[in-house]
Amino acid sequence: MEITFQINNQLTTFKTEPTTPLIQLLRSERQLTGAKLSCGIGRCGACSILMDGELVNACLIMAYQASGTSILTIEGLNEEGGHPIQKALLEEGGLQCGYCTPGMVMAITALFKRTPQPTDEEIMEGLSGNLCRCTGYTGIIRAIRRCMN
């Protein structure tokens, strides 16, 4: 099966099996390894990407479902010197091992797209699909608040 979609603003065509998970396609065919395959059942958010501007778990999306869409991965947010969300996470102690960080950055990006000035409740709701097992959420929430200022 041949599918075409945009990845980080580049139109890309793949030949793949219809049952190939999108996360596998991104990681193995495009070497976009920022999104992690962790739980594989959509609970941890390590594979978070934006599909047509909406936060999704790439482990739950089959490659064919991406046909005609626009995908944004953590690599697509890359800015010289680091993305402002990444900088805030680093400066506020919002990361340790960094495994969840790409997914967190994508979740925070989606949160700010929906709600530029989120309340504490909206922040918690926005992070609810992303797990951090080593930092805790205090530093992550401080980083979000820093980005709001």
| Tens place of pLDDT per residue across the chain (149 aa) | 999 999 999 999 999 998 899 999 999 999 999 999 999 999 999 999 999 999 999 999 999 999 999 999 999 998 887 899 999 999 999 998 989 999 999 999 999 999 999 999 999 999 999 999 887 799 999 999 999 98
Report in angstroms the alpha-carbon separations of 37 from 22, 47, 50, 82, 141.
10, 6, 16, 23, 24
Alpha-carbon distance of 106 to 4, in angstroms, equals: 22
Q: Containing H/E element for 84?
A: helix 84-91
Alpha-carbon distance of 94 to 57, in angstroms, equals: 21
Query: In which residue are the tokens 């139109």 written?
Result: 11
Q: Which two tokens stand for residue 55?
A: 């936060």
Alpha-carbon distance of 92 to 85, in angstroms, equals: 10
* pLDDT value for 45: 97
- Pick from 130, 102, 87: nearest CA to 26: 102
Alpha-carbon distance of 126 to 143, in angstroms, equals: 14
